[in-house]
């Protein structure tokens, strides 16, 4: 399955990802600048903050419990489409997902 990460400067990087992985895991496995994932996906930081593309918001679903609390610690502006990429699990329905990366994570 494919994910496109769009950096704050507009640079697009499309990667192959495995179903069941998180958007954060796919980013780290493919050396995507802009996703740090300092806590390893345990929802204890906000260094995997991303903005889900408007076309994909409904498919990724709402924020999980506690996600908005962690996003309060994000280094970049929190928007209505903000998510922790560690909390978005890749399913067949998310093949082609597009996420935008914030200017900074820390």
CATH numbers and ranges of domains, the chain: 2-100 (3.10.20.30)
Strand order in the sheet with 97-100: 12-16, 2-6, 97-100, 49-52, 82-84
For 40, residues 6+ apart whose C-beta sits below 8 A from its C-beta are: none
Q: What is the pLDDT along the chain (106 residues), one digit of tens a residue?
A: 999 999 999 999 999 999 999 999 999 999 999 999 999 999 999 999 999 999 999 999 999 999 999 999 999 999 999 999 999 999 999 999 999 999 999 8
The terminus-to-terminus CA distance of the chain in angstroms comes to 29
């Amino acid at each position: 399955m494919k994910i496109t990460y769009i950096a704050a400067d507009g640079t697009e990087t499309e990667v192959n990802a495995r179903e069941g992985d998180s958007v954060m895991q796919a980013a780290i496995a493919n050396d995507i600048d802009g996703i740090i994932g300092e806590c390893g996906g345990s929802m204890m930081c906000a260094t995997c903050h991303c903005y889900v593309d408007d076309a994909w918001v409904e498919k990724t679903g709402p924020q999980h419990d506690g996600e908005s609390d962690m996003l309060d610690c994000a280094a970049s502006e929190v928007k209505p489409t903000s998510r922790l990429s560690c909390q978005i699990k890749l399913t067949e329905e998310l093949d082609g997902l597009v996420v935008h990366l914030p200017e900074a994570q820390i």
